Amino acid sequence: MTRTNDSTRTAPANKLSKSAHALAAIVAGSLFVACEETPQGTSASQSALPSSSAAKMKPSASAMTSTAPPKPSASANAPPSGKDFASMPALADGEIVATLEALNQGEVDQATVAKKQAKDDKVKKFADHMTMDHSQWKKDVEDLAKKEKIDPKDAEITKTLKKDSETLVTKLEGTSDKTFDNVYIDAQVAGHQEALDLIDQRLFKDVKNDELKKAIATARGKIQGHLDEAKSIAGSIGSGATPSATPATSAAPTAKPK
């Protein structure tokens, strides 16, 4: 019996082992090359796909980027006059009475100058109208306050209204005859719009006395009528006033943080 040499039996196995190692090295090298050529963030399976398939799997830049909704402009919620009376401190009934008196007295003082210096007949008639209506309303408010035992008390907005009116009266007195009508009517459009915003944003919210609330509601209708009339005159004399004209007055006082 012939003995088989162990080295002879192991030779095929060694050859097979070497072939396996060589194949493994080739595969490893291929994978390494594939990883080197594949863009970062893309799997090898994706790179092996046709370009059309890869494009379907990869989300577009527009899909990955969320579109934020447009922010409303700061002026979107602004009142017509541009004054933010809603953020000013709340007013007691006595302060509301003093505020209404300041509004009315300012209109009377401005109209007094207009009756002397206005040239256009429509402007003169409007000034007469302002003197009559606001004088009567001021008296009505004073009488109501006495009847309801409401003591007038100045607030910051009251002082602001008084100062603004004094500034406007001084300006009107120094305005030339050629431009007076336009300056006065423009101020009336702005001032009456401001008064409406003050009533809507602050006075209606704060008033407690029922009779005072009724008086404010009645007066609001008259102020709206004055505003419409002033706008009509502004259009007829070619002034710069517009429906959204902003009064050149001080800013409304804001509530102090607690």
CA torsion angle 157 100 170 194 (round to 10):
70
Of 129, 108, 115, give the one whose Cα is nearest residue 180. 115
- State the pLDDT confidence band at 127, using cuts at 50, 70 and 90: very high
Phi and psi angles of residue 95, each rounded to the nearest 5 degrees, phi first: -70, -35
**Longest distance between any two alpha carbons in the chain, whole Å:** 148
SS3 130: helix
Question: How does pLDDT run across 160-218, given as a tens digit for each residue?
Answer: 999 999 999 999 999 988 899 999 999 999 999 999 999 999 999 999 999 999 999 99
Q: Is 70 left (phi over 0), alpha (psi -120 to 50) or beta?
A: beta
Distance, CA of 96 to CA of 155 (rounded, Å): 8
Distance, CA of 79 to CA of 85 (rounded, Å): 9
How high is the pLDDT of residue 240?
61
* Residue 247 clears pLDDT 60, i.e. is over it: no
CA distances from 121 to 61, 176, 191 (A): 67, 17, 21
| Domains of the chain from N-terminus onward | 89-237 (1.20.1260.10)
Residues in the chain: 258
- Cα 227–chain centre separation: 23
**Is the distance from CB of 177 to CB of 119 less than 8 angstroms?**
yes
Question: How does pLDDT run across 45-92, given as a tens digit for each residue?
Answer: 444 444 444 444 454 544 444 444 444 333 344 456 667 899 999 999
How high is the pLDDT of residue 80?
63
**Is the distance from CB of 187 to CB of 110 less than 8 angstroms?**
yes
Q: How many CB atoms lie within 10 A of CB 94?
A: 16
**Is the distance from CB of 184 to CB of 131 less than 8 angstroms?**
no
Distance, CA of 101 to CA of 97 (rounded, Å): 6
Of 122, 88, 128, give the one whose Cα is nearest residue 107. 128
